Structures are given as C-alpha cells and as structure tokens.
Amino acid sequence: MATGSSGVVIVTGAGGEMGHALIPHLLAAGKRVVAADLRAPTSPWPDGVRAATGDIRDRAFVKTLADAWGEGPIEAVYHLAAVLSSAGERNPELAHEVNVMGTMHLLSLAAERGTPGHPPLVLFPSSIAVYGLHDLDAKRNAGALHEEEHLDPRTVYGLGKLAGEELGGYYARYYRQLDPQGPRRAVDFRSIRFPGILSADTLPSGGTSDYGPEMLHAAAKGEPYRCFVRPDARIPFMTMPDAIRAIEAIAAAPVSRLSRRVYNVGAFAPSAAEIAELVTRHFPRARIDFSPHPARQAIVDSWPEDVVDHAARRDWHWTPTHDFESAFAEYLVPRITSRYAAAVR
C-alpha cells in the first residue's frame, strides 16, 4: 500500500463503508493505522488500529491524529470522511464545513507532519459528482466524460470534491510559496473519482447513487424497494473490492508514472432498470418499483452516463475485476446471500 517512510497511516471516515473495506488491507500490509471517525467504534478495531473519535471540522482534533501512536511522522492519509450528495443538499453548510474545511485540516496536518523529503501520501476519494450536465440531452450527447470535461457540479458535495481536488493540488505544488525557500511539495496528493459503489457488506448513507446498493440489499433481505430514480437513469458503478483495488494501485504507483493527480475509474454503467432486472434474476421474489424523487433524479441526471478512464489504465494499470454480470454472480449475490441468509429463509 502506501509507500515511503514507516510512519502512521491516518484513515478518516474509518467507520464508513470504504473505511471498513480499506483498513484490513492496510493492516495486512503491516501499517499502524489511526482510525478517525465522528462516532466511537461499535466493535473494537483489531491490533494495529488506534481509534480517534472526533469531528474533522475541529482543527484541534485533527492535530491530535498524528500522535495516536506516540510521536512519529505521517506516512499516509486516506481521507475518506465526507457528507455525501443527498445529505449535503439537506445541510449545505455542514457539507461545506466537513468536505472542504475538513479536507483542508487534513492536508495541513499531512503537510506539517511528514518526514522531510518524503511528503505523505494523501489519498482523496473524489466522485463523479464533480461533473455537471445541464439536462438529459446534454448528458446523452456527452456520453462518457474525460477528466477535464463538464466540471460544473450541481451539488454542494460535488463542489466540495472539486475543491478538495484543487486544494490537494495546491498543497502538492504551491504550499508556502512565499517562504524564502519557495514552495514545498508538502504532500503527495492522489485522487480517484469514484462512481457509485456496490458493497455486499455495507450500505452507504446519504448518497444519490444509493438506489443501486439499496435495491440489491432490499431484495436480499426479502423487502420491497421503491427506487427514487427513473428506470432509464444511468450512471457508472463499481464493486467495493474494485474500489479498494483502485486505491491500492494508485497508492503503490511510482510518482513518475502519474501523469495527473486526479483520475477517473470506470467498471460498468447500467441503467436503474438494468440493475433491477439483474437483481430480479438473482432474487426472483424481489419487489422493485419506481417512484422518482424529482430533486434526486435531477442530481443523477447531472452525472455522466459513464467515464473515460484511459489515464488510470495507462498510468497505474487500472482494470476492474468485475463487470456488471460478474459483479453480481461472483461477488455481490454469493456474499450478500450468506449475509442475509437468516432473513430470507
């Protein structure tokens, strides 16, 4: 995983979906992890993890994170904490404070607490929410988007992710540029724009791509599901194991291989109807109907149908393991079925 010195590895949003999936990989790589989250852990973390409970809006709390294992440099920050897109629209001020100010606090911490000459890796999960198509015609005409296209987000979450990407670039190039010795390369900032993510183990909360995972988990539990977007709504998705693989691959890539700091990654891009069909094929008793929520639909309509991920494929050999069919047949359905076995029986 993270290369460089053997300092601590800080994971924010450690109790969230991606944190749960990522931390075992960091431990397997022998890292000493600081698991930061707003909420205290519901079950104890294994050896190798120290929990830090607090709010990343609080700069004083963030400053304590580097010391959870005693004095020592920061090797890497996996800054996963965020208020997702639907939750952000319900409280834009909170979303800005967490998503932008919180990111700034983590970047400052990493910049100040690295090993001299070894800027800490800062891994920032960005999102397809940085894109903004004005209407459905624009979305259909645009097709799959390259990284530089249509950066006109409709949500405060998308704005915050775009700001986080730019702030990361600033800390990587221009931090302390007025100091007599000039700017420092204070952090090794790397970012992946994720599509919607499908996990067999957890559900997201407060996102707008949540209809994908919610449909599947409801069917596996034997519950009906009312989908909040139209059947033709189409955005890219990938599985959680592939998302973690992408993080590992970009983190391990030699800096000389990286032609950019922010990368698209894609895997498959089904419509909501196609997700419903595949869920129903695997769970024939699934009860899914569609009752679009206009505002959430408009957010999904502003996100691209798919992304172009040539740069990630070329620079750090990104390739998803799961396509749409195999995601369900080989990962989601077997794992989710055993998870909810008691409920469906």
Task: Considering the complex, state which of residue 175 and residue 303 has its C-beta at the smaller distance from ligand SER.
Answer: 303
Q: Which stretch binds ligand SER (CB under 6 A): 19-27, 56-64, 141-149, 202-210?
A: 202-210
Q: Which stretch binds ligand SER (CB under 6 A): 116-124, 207-215, 265-273, 286-294?
A: 207-215
262 binds ligand SER (CB under 6 A): no
CB of 131 to ligand SER, least distance (A): 11
Say how far apart CA 336 and CA 344 lie, in whole Å: 11
CB of 168 to ligand SER, least distance (A): 17
Subset of residues 154 to 173 that bind ligand SER, contact rule: CB under 6 A: 157
Distances (CA, A) of 170 to 28, 111, 262: 32, 11, 13
CB of 206 to ligand SER, least distance (A): 7
Say how far apart CA 282 and CA 263 lie, in whole Å: 33
Say how far apart CA 95 and CA 82 lie, in whole Å: 8
Say how far apart CA 83 and CA 66 lie, in whole Å: 23
Distances (CA, A) of 304 to 113, 128, 131, 301, 330: 38, 7, 7, 8, 27
Subset of residues 62 to 91 that bind ligand SER, contact rule: CB under 6 A: 84-85
207 binds ligand SER (CB under 6 A): yes
DSSP string of 228-297? SS-TT-B--EEEHHHHHHHHHHHHHS-GGG-S-SEEE---B--BHHHHHHHHHHHSTT--EEE---HHHH
CB of 43 to ligand SER, least distance (A): 25
196 binds ligand SER (CB under 6 A): yes
Say how far apart CA 105 and CA 100 lie, in whole Å: 9
Alpha-carbon Rg for the chain, nearest whole angstrom, is: 20
Residue 87, both tokens: 């939750």
CB of 7 to ligand SER, least distance (A): 29
- Cβ burial of 149 (10 Å; 0-12, 13-18, 19+) is middle
Q: Which stretch binds ligand SER (CB under 6 A): 97-105, 201-209, 215-223, 325-333?
A: 201-209
Q: What's 9's DSSP letter?
A: E
Task: Considering the complex, state which of residue 89 and residue 248 has its C-beta at the smaller distance from ligand SER.
Answer: 89
Say how far apart CA 302 and CA 131 lie, in whole Å: 7
10 in Cβ contact with 76 (< 8 Å): yes
129 binds ligand SER (CB under 6 A): yes
CA 142, 143, 145, 150 dihedral sign is positive
Subset of residues 10 to 69 that bind ligand SER, contact rule: CB under 6 A: none
Site string for ligand SER, 217-256 (x = CB under 6 A): ----------------------------------------
Q: What's 50's DSSP letter?
A: E
- Binds ligand SER by CB under 6 A, chosen from 12, 108, 191, 208: 208
297 binds ligand SER (CB under 6 A): no
187 in Cβ contact with 171 (< 8 Å): yes
Task: Considering the complex, state which of residue 124 and residue 157 has its C-beta at the smaller distance from ligand SER.
Answer: 157
131 binds ligand SER (CB under 6 A): no
Q: Which amino acid is at 255?
A: V
Task: Considering the complex, state which of residue 108 and residue 209 has its C-beta at the smaller distance from ligand SER.
Answer: 209
99 binds ligand SER (CB under 6 A): no
Q: Could you tell me which residues are beta bridge partners of residue 197?
A: 238
264 binds ligand SER (CB under 6 A): no
Task: Considering the complex, state which of residue 75 and residue 309 has its C-beta at the smaller distance from ligand SER.
Answer: 309
Active site residues: 157
Give the residue closest to ligand SER by C-beta. 207
- What does the binding site for ligand SER look like in residue numbers (CB under 6 A)? 84-85, 127, 129, 157, 194, 196, 207-209
